[in-house]
């Protein structure tokens, strides 16, 4: 499997994927931000990089088309979103349906969108975590594959939750990507298939 990772920022999830020594090969890291630290991480690991700034395009369609061309040029089989902070057009998503996953810092379907840690604290939830899901045109709404959960403690802050959720993410994301690489996991007729059976609920992990 030839893998591309799409990033916008720090890239700690990219690092976890690099360190995991997947059976697939990360052939390219694409960022919409030239100064993303994730790009430094990719270069350090001798992975090809591409900067495609959304600001250089008049609309989302043309930006996404440029990204698609880069992915095709890299001959990519799998697209991994790892802190990629742009909303994707439905055209682009359709082209990569079943081949593109994302990791989101909440127990979806709760807390789609941004600032999940603070919103969890504001609500007073005692359970929080992250979700890996296939990407569909609707934001953070694709078929869930795996979730990592943790207890929210009385002294937790948005910062401490972010750290704990990241720790979970670095464990779960490489696992899921490896399942895709090995063919254990795929999407068929909009249903997640895991180990030859339909997966109706995400696989759950807690505080690894």
C-beta of 8: minimal distance to ligand GRF in Å?
A: 7
Q: x/- string (CB under 6 A) for ligand GRF, residues 100-129?
A: ---xxx------------------------
The interface with ligand GRF within residues 143-202 (CB under 6 A) comprises: 166, 169
26/32 Cα distance (integer angstroms): 18
Distances (CA, A) of 120 to 1, 99, 110: 36, 30, 9
As measured in angstroms, the least distance from the Cβ of 196 to ligand GRF is: 29
Q: Does 11 engage in binding with ligand GRF (CB under 6 A)? A: yes
Position 12 contacts ligand GRF (CB under 6 A): yes
Site pattern 66..95 for ligand GRF (x: CB under 6 A) = ----------------xx------------
Contacts 24+ apart (CB under 8 A), 153-161: 156/121, 157/121, 158/115, 158/117, 158/118, 158/121, 159/117, 161/117, 161/120, 161/121, 161/128
CB of 168 to ligand GRF, least distance (A): 9
Cα(172)–Cα(103) distance, rounded to whole angstroms? 9
- Shortest reach from residue 103's CB to ligand GRF, in Å: 4
3-class SS shares of the chain: helix, strand, coil, % to 5: 35, 25, 40
Residue 167 a catalytic site member: no
130 binds ligand GRF, rule: CB under 6 A: yes
If the CB atoms of residues 130 and 144 are measured against ligand GRF, the closer one turns out to be 130
| Catalytic residue numbers, as ranges | 104
Binding site for ligand GRF (CB under 6 A): 9-13, 82-83, 103-105, 130, 166, 169
């Amino acid at each position: 499997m030839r893998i591309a990772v799409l990033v916008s920022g720090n890239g700690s999830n990219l690092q976890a994927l690099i360190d995991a020594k997947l059976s697939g090969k990360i052939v390219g890291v694409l960022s919409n931000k030239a100064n993303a630290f994730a790009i430094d991480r990719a270069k350090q690991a001798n992975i090809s990089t591409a900067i495609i700034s959304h600001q250089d395009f008049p609309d989302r369609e043309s930006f996404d088309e440029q990204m698609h061309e880069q992915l095709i040029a890299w001959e990519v089989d799998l697209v991994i979103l790892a802190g990629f902070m742009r909303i994707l057009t439905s055209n682009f998503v359709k082209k990569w349906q079943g081949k593109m996953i994302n990791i989101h810092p909440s127990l979806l379907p709760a807390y789609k969108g941004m600032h999940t840690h603070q919103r969890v604290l504001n609500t007073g939830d005692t359970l929080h975590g992250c979700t890996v899901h296939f990407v569909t045109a609707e934001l953070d709404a694709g078929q869930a594959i795996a979730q990592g959960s943790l207890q929210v403690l009385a002294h937790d802050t948005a910062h401490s939750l972010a750290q704990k959720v990241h720790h979970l993410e670095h464990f779960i994301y490489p696992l899921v990507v490896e399942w895709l690489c090995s063919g254990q996991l795929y999407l068929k007729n909009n249903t997640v298939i895991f180990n030859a059976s339909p997966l109706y609920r995400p696989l759950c992990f807690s505080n690894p």
